[in-house]
Amino acid sequence: MAQTGTQAQTGTQPQPGASRQRRFETVVIGGSAGSIDALAVLLEALPASLRAAIVVVVHLPREKPSLLRRIFEPRCALALRDAHDKEPLEPGTVYFAPPDYHVLLDAGPTLALSVDDPVHFSRPSIDVLFESAADACGDRLLAILLSGANADGAQGLAAVQAAGGATLVQSPASCLMSFMPEAALARMQPDHVLPPDAMVALLQQWHSGRQL
């Protein structure tokens, strides 16, 4: 079973992806219904000195522009941008997927936008981001899956783990919509299963240790 509660927070039985002391150059975060509050907890706690770039996919209405950057900009120390095709990633910067485009990572890593068919009825899709990031970044990748109401992200998270990356899943009990993390837990055993506040503590620990 995946780590939960105190065991997951203290890391008494860490998975291989969590135990190796290496630097994460890229963080990918995915969520859907109920994920904005958890995302706010994470992004608002991270310092401008973060050594990694962050790419975020949240399921949004296709017909409306994303307001995520405007919502988080006054509250975050990190630089925030809307993702653009062929844009290279920069440390300490958060890139938000635009509505109705898949976001992928290519070698570099560099952002790529796609209008391929929706995955799990979603474009952008978390699986598409996570799987491409696993190919591009390997064990330098950290993937975080948050609250949501469908199974998008479970397959991609498994791909990240298979490539040697680290995996975090929001604990279902802390989610407004637990279907998405539960789908991931039914498929694989992530390195950590944590509520958002405990995720923040772990990310800050990695930052202090120059891993993030």
Is 192 annotated in the active site? no
d(CA 122, CA 62): 9
Pairing of strands 26-31, 141-145: parallel
User: Which pLDDT score, from 0 to 100, does residue 171 have?
Assistant: 98
As a whole-number percent, the residues of the chain with pLDDT over 70 amount to 91
User: Which pLDDT score, from 0 to 100, does residue 62 have?
Assistant: 78
User: Which pLDDT score, from 0 to 100, does residue 155 have?
Assistant: 97
Would you call 104 helix, strand, or coil by DSSP? strand
User: Which pLDDT score, from 0 to 100, does residue 61 have?
Assistant: 78
Q: Are 193 and 2 in contact (CB under 8 A)?
A: yes
> How many angstroms separate the first and last alpha carbons of the chain?
27
Banded pLDDT at 20 (limits 50, 70, 90): low
User: Which pLDDT score, from 0 to 100, does residue 44 have?
Assistant: 95
Per-residue pLDDT tens over the stretch 74-130: 899 999 999 999 999 999 999 999 999 999 999 999 999 999 999 988 999 999 999
Say whether domain 22-208 belongs to CATH 3.10.20.30: no
Is 152 annotated in the active site? yes
Of the candidates 152, 174, 178, 192, the residue annotated as catalytic is: 152
d(CA 205, CA 108): 26
Residue 8, pLDDT above cutoff 50: no
Where b means 16+ CB within 10 Å and e means fewer, 170-209 reads bbbebbebbbbbbbbbeebebbbbbbbebbbebbeebbee
User: Which pLDDT score, from 0 to 100, does residue 67 have?
Assistant: 84
- Tell me which residue of 183, 186, 126, 194 sits closest to 160, measured CA to CA: 126
Beta-carbon contacts of residue 103 (< 8 Å; ≥ 6 apart): 55, 57, 83, 95, 97, 111, 112, 113, 114, 124, 128, 129
The stretches of the chain forming alpha helices (DSSP H) are 5-10, 16-19, 35-45, 68-72, 126-137, 154-162, 179-187, 196-208
Q: What is the mean pLDDT of the chain?
A: 90
Peptide bond into 124 cis (omega under 30): yes
Point out which residues pair with 169 in neighbouring strands.
Answer: 145, 193
Q: Are 107 and 92 in contact (CB under 8 A)?
A: no
Instruction: Tell me the average pLDDT across 190-196.
Output: 97
Of the candidates 59, 102, 120, 207, the residue annotated as catalytic is: 59
Residues making up the chain, counted from first to last: 212
Is 59 annotated in the active site? yes
